[in-house]
Amino acid sequence: MTMIISQLGIQPDALQGETVIVTGAGGGIGYEAARALLWLGANVVIAEINHQNGRKAECALESEFGKDRVLFVHTDVGDEASVKNLYNLSNLAFGKVDAVINNATIAVLGQVKDLSIEEWDRSYHVNLRGPVLMAKTFLSDMIQRNHGVFACVSSTGTAFLGGYETFKAAQVHLANTLDAELEGTNISAYTIGPGLIPTETA
């Protein structure tokens, strides 16, 4: 299948030698982002909590781009030990991490008054605690090397989406804060708001 990025005049080796972690890359936006990054020459780490989806994505991407540039690491982004394991295995495989794309998410739907606090906690675990742990774990090395990108896939919404969008919108503030704190470095922090994409989650 022809990739749109291949039609934009971008050199296919533009990110050669770079290593990018994409959380939630077992499907949907994360998987297609991983494909595009591999086409651009980057090494890609699939950080995915669903073991079956992660392995399936790894195999598909290996068959398309080769085995040496793709790594699946079973990861719960909201768990500190799991993120540390992701850090260790990514560095063991590729020597460094140049960019993180915080794409992992869970959708918690319902009226604010009806959602249990357990559902709010579950959403916070992935949709905000996750990106914070990723920042705390990976930014120090980027700062030391004065090179890196930290991106969040954010969104904002309205009725019946509060349990999801409250934390996704908070990623915008997190990225803006990091952008200010990283001023004067060669590290970029920003958010991407792709809108509603008809993925399995959506």
List 31, 87, 124, 164, catalytic entry:
164
Instruction: Note the pLDDT tens digit of each residue in 17-73.
Output: 999 999 999 999 999 999 999 999 999 999 999 999 999 999 999 999 998 999 999
Across the range 125-142, mean pLDDT stands at 98
**How far does Cα 131 stand from its chain's mean position?**
8
- For 94, the token pair is 């590729």
pLDDT at 9: 86
- On the question of pLDDT at 1 being above 70, the answer is no
164 tagged catalytic? yes
**Closest C-alpha to 34, from 8, 54, 50:** 54
- Asked whether the predicted pLDDT for residue 196 surpasses 90, the reply is no
- Specify the 3-state DSSP secondary structure of 196: coil
Rounded CA separation 202/195 (Å): 10
Radius of gyration of the chain (CA): 17
